[in-house]
Amino acid sequence: MKKYPRWPIHLALLAASFVMLVPFYWVLKTSVSGENIFSYPPNIIPRDPNPFYYVDVWYAIPFARFFLNSVIVSVMTIAANVVLNAMAGYSLTQSFRGKSVVLMLLLSCMMIPFQTTIIPAYLITGKLGLLDSYLGLALPLFSTIICIFVFKASFDAVPRSLIDAAKIDGLSEWKIIWKVMMPLATSAMATNVILSFIWSWNNFMWPLIATRSADMQTLPLGLARFMSYQEDSTGALYAFCIMVLAPGILLFLLAQREFVQGLTSGAAKG
Amino acid sequence: MNNEDFSAPKWKRLLLNRFVLVPAVLILLTVGWNLWVVTHDHGIVEGQVLDATGAPVEGAEVKLWVFNFTTFVVKATTTSRPDGSFEFANNPSHNIQVSAEKPGKGRSARVAIRLYFASEDFVLKDPLRLTDGT
C-alpha cells in the first residue's frame, strides 16, 4: 500500500488552526492591552499588558452574581440533559410501533428554530410560575434532540446480547440504562455535558425574555448591559468576553477527547 | 476516561483525574486570592509629597480622586506631615488618582493608580512632586 506523506495534512491543519485561533488571540491581547482595534499598524505582541480591564469588569457590573446565575442554570441544564436524553436515546434503540414516525418527528423538530417557539415557551413557563427563576431559565434546554441522537448512536453500538444478558439477570430497563449503557457511553455523556453547557452558557434570547429582575440575569445579558454603558472601553469589553468564554473553553479542553469520540460514535455505521 | 488504570484503587481513580484536579486547583487559587484580598483591603493609600528641589513638603493638601462611572471625583483630602508623607485610610475604589497642592509651592500632576481589587492597600513608589509654585 502506498504511503502518502503526512506533512501536507499537517500544514493544512496548522493553517486552519492559525485562522481559527487568531481571533481568540486578538481578543485576549486586546483584553490585556486595551489597544484600539482600529489602530494601525496593529501590534502583534501586547504593549504593557496588565489585568486591570478584568478588574474594571468585575466592579462595573455584579459579575459574581451573573456568574453564579450562569453556573446554576448550566448545572441544571447539564444534569437534565444527561438524564432525560439518556432515557430518550435508550427508548429509541428499542423496537416499538411508530418508532419511525417518532424519529421523523424528532428530526423534523430539529429544523424549527427556537425563536419560533419562544412565545409558547414563555406562556408555558409563565403558567408554571417559573418566570424569573433558575428552573424557568433552564427549562427550555432540558432536552435537546441532537443530544438524544448522540446517546442513541452510542447505545446502538452496544451489543444487543449485553442488554439481553442484563434482562436475564433481572435488571429493569431503568437499571440497564444506568448500570450497563451509561458506563459504556462516557463519550456520549461528555458530548452532552459540553453541548448543553455551551448552549446554556451562551444563551441570550431566553434569559432576556424570562428574567425580570437584574439579580436573575446571566452572563450574556450582563455583557449586553455592560456594552450599553461601557462602549468606549475596548479593553474592558474584551476582558468581559474572555471572562464569559473561559469556563466553556476550560470545559472543552478538559473533555475534548470524549467530546470528539461522542460526536463521531456511530458516524461510520453502515 | 478510556485510559483509566483499573488496577488503581477506586478512590485514586475517582480523585486523581483531571476532572477533579483542575477544579480543585482553581478552587484553591480562588480561596488563596480571597484570603489575600481580605488581609489587604483596608483602603490605605500612602505616599510622600516633595517640592521641586526634592525636599519634603509639610501641610500640602493631598486629594484622593475616585473613578465615578465616567469621571474622577474627589473622595477625600488630607494634609501631608512634616516629613511630607500622607495617608488615606478610606479608599473604596480600584481605580484612583492622587494629587497634591500647596499655595506657594505649586501642585503635582494627578497620578493614576490602578489596583488589583477595591480598597487594596497601596504605597506610592514615586513621590508627588510639586512644581510651578511661583
Average pLDDT over residues B31-41: 96
User: How many residues are listed for chain A in this entry?
Assistant: 270
Q: Return d(Cα A1, Cα A10) in angstroms, integer.
A: 21
CB contact under 8 A, A52 and B117: no
Q: What mean pLDDT value characterizes chain B?
A: 90
Identify whether A140 is preceded by a cis peptide bond (ω within 30 of 0).
no
| C-alpha span between B62 and A117 (Å, rounded) | 61
Residue A116 predicted with pLDDT over 60: yes
Residue B1: predicted pLDDT = 45
Gyration radius from chain A CA atoms: 23
Name the percent of chain B lying above pLDDT 70: 94
- 3-state SS assignment for residue B79: strand
Q: What is the CA radius of gyration of chain B?
A: 24
Contacts of B114 in chain A (CB under 8 A): 50, 52, 55
DSSP letters of A183-223? HH-HHHHHHHHHHHHHHHHH--HHHHHH--SGGG--HHHHH
Helices and strands, counts by H and E, chain B? 2, 9
Map residue A137 onto helix, strand or coil. Answer: helix
The alpha carbon of residue A240 is apart from the nearest alpha carbon of chain B, in Å, by 16
What value does the mean pLDDT take over residues A201-228?
90
- Percentage of chain A beyond pLDDT 90 is 58
Residues 6+ apart with CB under 8 A from A45: A29
Tell me the C-alpha distance between A261 and A144, whole Å: 19
pLDDT, one tens digit per residue, over A31-90 is 999 888 778 888 889 888 999 999 999 998 899 999 999 999 999 999 999 999 999 999
Whether B19 sits inside 8 A of A255 (CB atoms) is yes
pLDDT at B64 over 80: yes
List of chain B residues whose C-beta atoms are within 8 Å of the C-beta of residue A51 = 116
Question: Which residue ranges form the domains of chain A, and what is each CATH number?
Answer: 49-242+255-268 (1.10.3720.10)
Segments of chain B assigned E as strands: 45-50, 61-68, 71-79, 85-88, 95-102, 106-107, 111-114, 122-123, 128-129
Cβ–Cβ of A52/B118 closer than 8 Å? Answer: no
The predicted model gives A117-133 an average pLDDT of 93
User: Closest chain A residue to B20 measured between Cα atoms?
Assistant: A254
Determine the pLDDT at residue A40.
82
**Cβ–Cβ under 8 Å, residues A94 and A160:** no
CA distance B55 to chain A (A): 32
Q: Can you read off the three cell numbers belonging to residue A240?
A: 468581559
Beta-carbon contacts of residue A78 (< 8 Å; ≥ 6 apart)? A192, A193, A196, A197, A200
A189 contact residues in B (CB cutoff 8 A)? none
Q: Does A132 touch chain B (CB under 8 A)?
A: no
Residue A267 pLDDT grade (very low, low, confident, very high; cuts 50, 70, 90): low
A-to-B residue pairs, Cβ atoms closer than 8 angstroms: 30
Single-letter amino acid code for the residue at A183: P
A241-253 average pLDDT score: 89
Tens of pLDDT, residue by residue over A133-150, are: 999 999 999 999 999 999
> Over the stretch A156-205, which tens digit does the pLDDT of each residue have?
988 889 989 999 999 998 899 998 999 888 889 988 998 999 999 999 99
Tell me how far CA of residue B106 lies from CA of A146, B50, B112, in angstroms: 71, 10, 19
Reported pTM: 0.81
Selection from A221, A32, A233 nearest residue B69 by Cα: A233
Distance, in angstroms, between B18 CA and closest chain A CA? 7
**CA count, 13 A, side-chain hemisphere, A197:** 19
| A60 to chain B: closest CA residue | B69
Amino acid at A179: K
Residue A186: closest CA among chain B residues belongs to which residue?
B1
Enumerate the residues of chain A whose CB falls inside 8 A of the CB of residue B118. 59
Interface of B with A in 115-134 (CB under 8 A): 115-118
Residues of chain A with pLDDT > 70, as a percent, come to 96
Q: Give the distance from residue A60's alpha carbon to the nearest chain B alpha carbon, in angstroms.
A: 8
Q: Tell me if B114 and A50 make a contact (CB, 8 A cut-off).
A: yes
